[in-house]
Amino acid sequence: MNILNSILDCIGDTPMVRLSRFSDGLPFTLVGKLDQLNPGGSVKDRIGIAMIRDAEAKGLLQAGGTITEGTAGNTGLGLAIAANNLGYKCVFCLPDKMSKEKIDLLRAYGAKVIVTPTAVDKSSPLHYANVAKRIAKETPGGWFAGQFENQSNPLVHYQSTAKEIWDQTDGKLTHFFAGAGTGGTINGVGKFLKEHNPAIKVVLCDPDGSFYGPWFKDHKAQPAPRQYTVEGIGLDYIPGTMNFDHIDDVVTVSDREAYLAARKLVRLEGIFTGGSTGNNIAGAVKWLKANGAGKDALPVAFLCDVGDRYLSKMYSDDWMRENGFLERSDVTAGEILLRQRSRKLVTAEPAQSLAEVMVQVKTLDLSQIPVLENGEPVGALYDGQLLKLLLEGRKLDQIKVREVMGNPLPVVDEEITVGELLKSVEREPGAALIRRASGEWGILTKADLVAVL
């Protein structure tokens, strides 16, 4: 039989996969270490159980105790998986920039979640780690895991993650790319790789705005850290788990580069990950290109967590556009119509009288009404013309739509982007009919596009 004793036995031994389609057109093929396939969906499952076992061994955590931690979300999940199996309670403190999905997820695992402000200094009592530390002190049987200081964090990466990568590549990897939150991953993996082959290049992929990159360059820079939105990596100080001794270089990655890379990865490879993974693969490609890597390279990038927890952020086109990571003019007509679901399209038929049409439209402020015959556009009624007929005192029940309708509106497909659609609606009559994939019709006016842009 091949049955494991608990979910804890499913942690680690994650696969490595060639990212061939993602690397298409590049001289080298990037390889991914798929740590998002851990049971909790992230690399942090490894350190959750490792820190707990270490605390148990040192007598810091006793049966029925309470684990507290300041976490970007994933470490909390890793701890919760282990805690639930071993009978501990959990209290987690998360900065408020973390996605709602992560908070809901921790609550689903039965943990107590406390949300703290992101924009506070590390020394503030409101800083997420300080809140978690205080709660551990105040709770009988409380133990603060402290992933930013706890040396079992880099150690488990040295003992498991690094060894797996080494064995899976037969020791032939040439580069290793990872970001650093606590630095546990890159520190532990980097140390092992350098011990086994100092020629392997270990490159830190750091978000633009993090303190790590500038500090690496001269070991003294004190830039004011800028805000960035990628979660889980980059920091504004050097924690006890970070070590630059095993790092050869740093490549800086913008939020936009990270998000676009992760979105490309899932579309080309079906590998669904978060922004920190995007940061690593974008950084890897950028660094390898800049350093002239060729087909002999066997570069490994670290894939950190699953994409599900970022659906409302980097995988939401609206969120991406609001934050300037996607062009507004890339919205498609179909997407705009989806947002306007409640708006009903009013159409007329050529054989109807104008009076019949007016019954339908009397409370609506419409400038044009498409005229359809057998489901296809054959003309349109325009408000100017209706106004003229009314002013002339004509009886609307005696006029057929066919007699007064004007040219049909231009017809476009729902895949058209706002940028292209603008060309169709710029000219009179200022609206276009959208042929939807479902077979229905939609209408978008110049005003709709202005609202989007």
Ligand X SMILES: Cc1ncc(COP(=O)(O)O)c(C=O)c1O
Among 32, 146, 232, 429, binds ligand X (CB under 6 A): 232
- Does position 38 interact with ligand X (CB under 6 A)? The reply is no
Which strand (E) or helix (H) includes residue 95? Answer: strand 89-95
Q: Of 78-107, which residues contact ligand X (CB under 6 A)?
A: none
- Does position 304 interact with ligand X (CB under 6 A)? The reply is yes
Shortest Cβ 180–ligand X spacing (Å): 4
Q: What's the CA gap between 73 and 51, in Å, rounded? A: 16
In contact, 69 and 106? CB cutoff 8 Å: no
User: Biggest alpha carbon distance in the chain?
Assistant: 95
In 3-state terms the chain splits into helix, strand, coil percentages (rounded to 5) of: 40, 20, 40
Residues in a beta bridge with 445: 431
Among 23, 38, 185, 252, binds ligand X (CB under 6 A): 185
For the CA atoms of 374, 375, 376, 382, the dihedral, rounded to the nearest 10 degrees, stands at: 100
- Does position 180 interact with ligand X (CB under 6 A)? The reply is yes
Active site residue 295: no
Q: What's the CA gap between 180 and 273, in Å, rounded? A: 16
- Does position 303 interact with ligand X (CB under 6 A)? The reply is no
Q: What's the CA gap between 323 and 355, in Å, rounded? A: 47
Residue 111, phi then psi, degrees to nearest 5: -85, 155
- Does position 210 interact with ligand X (CB under 6 A)? The reply is no
Distance of CA 119 to the CA centre of its chain: 21
- Cβ proximity to ligand X: between 248 and 305 the closer is 305
Shortest Cβ 51–ligand X spacing (Å): 12
Q: For residue 54, what are the contacts with CB-CB under 8 A and spacing of at least 6?
A: 150, 152
- Cβ proximity to ligand X: between 49 and 336 the closer is 49
- Cβ proximity to ligand X: between 47 and 418 the closer is 47
Task: Please choose, out of 53-61, 181-189, 211-219, 290-298, the segment that lies near ligand X by the rule CB under 6 A.
Answer: 181-189
Candidates 33, 44, 89, 286; catalytic one: 44
Q: Is 250 strand, coil or helix? A: strand
Q: What's the CA gap between 383 and 185, in Å, rounded? A: 66
Distance of CA 188 to the CA centre of its chain: 26
Shortest Cβ 340–ligand X spacing (Å): 35
Shortest Cβ 268–ligand X spacing (Å): 21
Task: Please choose, out of 67-75, 333-341, 364-372, 443-451, the segment that lies near ligand X by the rule CB under 6 A.
Answer: 67-75
In contact, 239 and 149? CB cutoff 8 Å: yes
Please report, for the chain, how many H helices and E strands are present, in that order.
Answer: 17, 15
Task: Please choose, out of 198-206, 207-215, 230-238, 410-418, the segment that lies near ligand X by the rule CB under 6 A.
Answer: 230-238
- Cβ proximity to ligand X: between 66 and 280 the closer is 280
Among 67, 113, 162, 233, binds ligand X (CB under 6 A): 233
- Cβ proximity to ligand X: between 32 and 377 the closer is 32
- Does position 278 interact with ligand X (CB under 6 A)? The reply is no
Q: What's the CA gap between 431 and 447, in Å, rounded? A: 9
- Does position 276 interact with ligand X (CB under 6 A)? The reply is yes
- Cβ proximity to ligand X: between 71 and 368 the closer is 71
Catalytic (active-site) positions:
44
For ligand X, the binding residues (CB under 6 A) are 42-43, 72, 74-75, 179-185, 231-233, 274, 276, 304-305
